[in-house]
Amino acid sequence: MSEQYQARIPIYPRSVKGRFRNLKWAVLALAYGVFFLLPWLRWERAFGPDQAVLFDIPGRRFYLFDLLVHPQDIFWLAAVLIILALLLFMVTGLAGRVFCGYFCFQTLWTDVFMAIERAIQGDRGARMRLDRSGWTAGRLLKKGATHAVWLGVAFLTGLTFTLYWADAPALAAAFFTGQAPFAAYATTGLLTLTTWLLAGVLREQVCTYMCPYARFQSVMFDRDTLIISYDRDRGEGTAGRATLRDGGRDLAARREGGVGDCIDCDYCVQVCPVGIDIRDGLQYQCIHCALCVDACDAVMDRLKWPRGLVRYTSEHALAGQRTRLFKPKTLGYGVPLLLITLLLAWGVAHQAPLDASVSQVRQPLFVRLSDGSIQNSYEIKVNNKTQYPMTLEVRVSGLDGAVLDMGRIERVTLMPEHRTTLLARVRYQAPPGAARRQALVFELVPVMPEGLDPVVVGSQFILR
């Protein structure tokens, strides 16, 4: 093995029960329920597809329940990304890498893959014995079954992701009859492979080596950040840690002898999904899943000793000082986060039902008619962003005496989520000495449905 690369040490996480493990199962169940069931959820719309969440790339629109997102709304995506980044930074500054421990896709899928492995191959000890047993028929059967189930979950993951981009029932039927587009098979295949590889094979190496977040997390930490910590003063005492055989089970006697509360059982190490020892202090590999807290609490409960030897706490709290959660850094994240969230909510709530643009026809810029008036031509692009039909009238203002000529078109009717291009001509009898360029305003006035505000688009009229 090259000196440039550290050989991987196999990790065999042990199962554990406790409040944080239960919280992780609850988050996982919610996340999987949303991810796997959402494409199949139907949503009644007057026009358009009945899928609740649909990313329609050919139609250039995203359906999110009652919200319709167009390419022109791309700034919403930028706002969402900024909000998520600020939220991540603020939460990390307050409570460490709880996102990694509870909400990250890598953690959620690795948890399930580990549960599958444990169900087929057994807990930590059984898996270690299995790997030491050589390639027997039993080992081949268990390993093969594990990878087969992993690939099944990975395939469902890839297929479910693909179903978000088309009508789910129709695409699923086409997929299994060989009639789906190549992109559907390619996307599903790629995600099947990567899910199996990242969650089943690489596991903790993704968090340790591939994820950049682990490397710069310490920049957002301070001495008030809640992190998973080992209470060294309590655990080591003055004489160090000791097993029950060496230090005894009587807590008072141990403390009188200077022996710490840690019995050196290594349960906290055995349950860690990244294989670190929390007693060595804060390490960049730690994802703050708190399984070591559950393990230590379980041992303390059996011994009827106080919990909290390993716990969520801050460096200030461990030193006997006050932990400050509300500080300038928190406000520095929180205020922009609140403002951007409010701006995004306002933008979504006040989404314009109609998009319009006006561009002047350049060839020719103007035409002098036989009566001496000047004519300019314009191309008007109109996009109905609503899910109901819309009838419009086109008017011009800002130039007294200007006459709009739309040919035989008096009103324009647009079907839901449709766009059209109109040709408009404007004639104007300019007074002597008028400026070469005149301001002109196009008004697109919704006639049906009533109550919608007109869309006003500024342009110019060229005289010469």
pLDDT of residue 4: 64
Dump strand ranges (E) for 217-343. Answer: 227-230, 310-313
pLDDT of residue 151: 98
CA torsion sign for 26, 31, 36, 38 is: positive
Residue written as token pair 């399984």: 291
Q: What is the mean pLDDT of residues 366-383?
A: 89
Least confident of 110-119, 259-268, 408-417: 408-417
Q: Which residue has the higher pLDDT, 354 or 165?
A: 165
Over 70: is that where the pLDDT of 109 sits?
A: yes
DSSP letters spanning 368-385 = E-TTS-EEEEEEEEEEE-
pLDDT of residue 301: 95
Residue 334 near residue 298, CB atoms below 8 Å: no
Show the DSSP H helices in 262-375 as ranges.
267-270, 291-303, 315-318, 328-349
CATH number of this structure's domain 354-462, picked from the four choices 3.30.300.30, 2.60.40.10, 3.40.30.10, 2.40.110.10: 2.60.40.10
**Range with the largest mean pLDDT of 167-171, 313-317, 367-371, 444-448:** 167-171
Domain boundaries, the chain: 227-318, 354-462
Per-residue tokens: 364? 């020719």
Bridging pattern class, strands 61-64 and 67-69: antiparallel
Angle (nearest 5°) at CA 176 between 172 and 181: 70
Over 70: is that where the pLDDT of 5 sits?
A: no
Give pLDDT tens digits for 185-201. 999 999 999 999 999 99
Over 80: is that where the pLDDT of 464 sits?
A: no
Dump strand ranges (E) for 65-113. Answer: 67-69
- Cα separations in angstroms, 162 against 51, 183, 185, 190: 14, 9, 9, 11
pLDDT of residue 176: 95
Residue written as token pair 């003055």: 238
Q: Which of 113, 312, 292, 325 is nearest to 228 (CA)?
A: 312
pLDDT of residue 430: 83
pLDDT of residue 386: 80
Give the percent of the chain with pLDDT over 90. 53
- H or E stretch at 120: helix 105-121
State how far the Cα of 387 lies from the Cα of 289, in Å rounded to an integer.
44
Q: Mean pLDDT in the chain?
A: 90
Over 70: is that where the pLDDT of 3 sits?
A: no
Per-residue tokens: 454? 């007109």
Banded pLDDT at 274 (limits 50, 70, 90): very high
Over 80: is that where the pLDDT of 309 sits?
A: yes
Over 60: is that where the pLDDT of 153 sits?
A: yes
State how far the Cα of 250 lies from the Cα of 235, in Å rounded to an integer.
15
Residue 422 near residue 408, CB atoms below 8 Å: no
State how far the Cα of 93 lies from the Cα of 85, in Å rounded to an integer.
12
Q: What is the mean pLDDT of residues 207-213?
A: 87
Least confident of 47-51, 320-324, 329-333, 338-342: 47-51
pLDDT of residue 2: 55
Per-residue tokens: 334? 């929180």
Over 70: is that where the pLDDT of 241 sits?
A: yes
Q: Which residues have C-beta within 8 Å of that of residue 194, sequence separation ≥ 6? A: none
Give pLDDT tens digits for 50-108. 899 999 988 888 999 988 888 888 888 999 999 999 999 999 999 989 999 999 999 99
